[in-house]
Structure 1
Amino acid sequence: MSMYFEEITQDTLYIALEIINSNPEYNQLENGNVTRTIDDMEKEFLNSQSTSVFIKLDDTYIGIIDYLLENPKDQTPWLGLLIIHRDYQGYGFGVQAYEIYENEMLDRGLKCIRIGVIKDNHKAHSFWESLGFKYFKKALWKKEIEISCYEKQLEQN
């Protein structure tokens, strides 16, 4: 089985919605609702700031990665979202997708990646720490959601 990324487009937004809505706990933490709308998907994944791609396993859409190559606030790459469809969680696909992403960032010559994890998303804190991310500060996201900021220094092999 091969894993790769495919750009999210207007025509595939409905698939993004299905993946996001398969994770109601995350939606509740992220915006206070267990489901999102197609309009939410358009704002989040079809904007000029971030790169939004599906994680595909052969022909199956199993997740989404959304990232900024350079956050205007700190001139650093930020991984905004890595989410796996509920049906495909627990098989190591998140780790595999992250490794592909990290290798792409290394190929671009980037030295570090930052992420923000919602304070109460305990599974995510453990996941990112297991991948070598180190906590560096607290911040507010969308003016009211407390997040923990992590970063990982990338090493060329």
Structure 2
Amino acid sequence: MIDLVSIKVVQSKEDITIQKTILNSHPAYNQVVMAKEFLTEEDIIKDNEENLKLGAEYYYITKDNEPVGLIHYLLNHKSDHLPWIGLLIVHKQHGRGGVASKALHLLEKKLIDQNKQKVRLCVQDGNEIGAVFWRQEGFVIINSATDGHNNRVDIYEKKLYPDRYQCS
């Protein structure tokens, strides 16, 4: 079973180790975003500090109660007051099994429950795997910009529909 579990102490030694394992299972992604294949604990702590200052909420994506991925998002981005997904990543060992899609749907339901009607995110130029995933999930490009790491990014948006997530 896939679930989202809130990370209470994002910067604990144990949580940084888990995040490092998940993030470093994707060296090509790290290279695109951070200009290095493998992140150090210090890299992760610094990035987390920046996101937490903005109000990011962190969740593990768990599969059978084991953390296999990571999501963080802002519920209200300061520029447009919309939710923005900062990261959705699944450990490479658990990729291709629908884990990311299921986790995204759980996050979308959480946002709908908070009366959000759309969600945005950025995809770095060169992250073709990410771009394909987000398009398959119904996100569309609405603009281009430069991110905090000075990378060119496409800004994606998806409208959220409450009826999609109602259970019978």
Normalization by structure 1: what TM-score?
A: 0.94
What corresponds to 2:36 in structure 1?
Answer: 33
What corresponds to 2:145 in structure 1?
Answer: 139
Identity of aligned residues (%): 27
CA RMSD of aligned residues (A): 1.4
Question: 1:124, 1:2 → 2: CA distance?
Answer: 20
What corresponds to 1:115 in structure 2?
Answer: 121
Task: Give a deviation string over 1:49-99, Cα, whole Å, max 9, x none.
Answer: 211111111221100001000111221110010000011001010000000
Q: Cα 1:137–1:119, aligned 2, differ >3 Å: closer, same or farther?
A: same
2:73 pairs with 1:67: yes
Following TM superposition, where does structure 1 have runs of at least 4 consecutive aligned residues deviating by more than 3 angstroms? none
What corresponds to 1:94 in structure 2?
Answer: 100
Task: Give the structure with the higher percent strand.
Answer: 1
Query: Following TM superposition, by how much is the alpha carbon of 1:3 offset from its aligned partner in structure 2, in angstroms?
Result: 2.3
Structure 1: gaps of 5 or more residues: none
Query: Following TM superposition, by how much is the alpha carbon of 1:143 offset from its aligned partner in structure 2, in angstroms?
Result: 5.7
Does the aligned pair in 2 maintain the 1:8–1:45 contact within 8 Å? no
Question: 1:136, 1:155 → 2: CA distance?
Answer: 19
Does the aligned pair in 2 maintain the 1:45–1:52 contact within 8 Å? no
What corresponds to 1:126 in structure 2?
Answer: 132
Question: 1:8, 1:121 → 2: CA distance?
Answer: 29
1:44 alignment partner, SS class: helix
Question: 1:18, 1:83 → 2: CA distance?
Answer: 11
Question: 1:150, 1:27 → 2: CA distance?
Answer: 20
Query: Following TM superposition, by how much is the alpha carbon of 1:140 offset from its aligned partner in structure 2, in angstroms?
Result: 0.3
Question: 1:123, 1:143 → 2: CA distance?
Answer: 19
Question: 2:110, 2:8 → 1: CA distance?
Answer: 18
2:161 alignment partner, SS class: coil
Question: 1:61, 1:156 → 2: CA distance?
Answer: 27
What corresponds to 2:7 in structure 1?
Answer: 7
What corresponds to 2:166 in structure 1?
Answer: none
Normalization by structure 2: what TM-score?
A: 0.88
Question: 1:102, 1:17 → 2: CA distance?
Answer: 25
Structure 2: gaps of 5 or more residues: 164-168
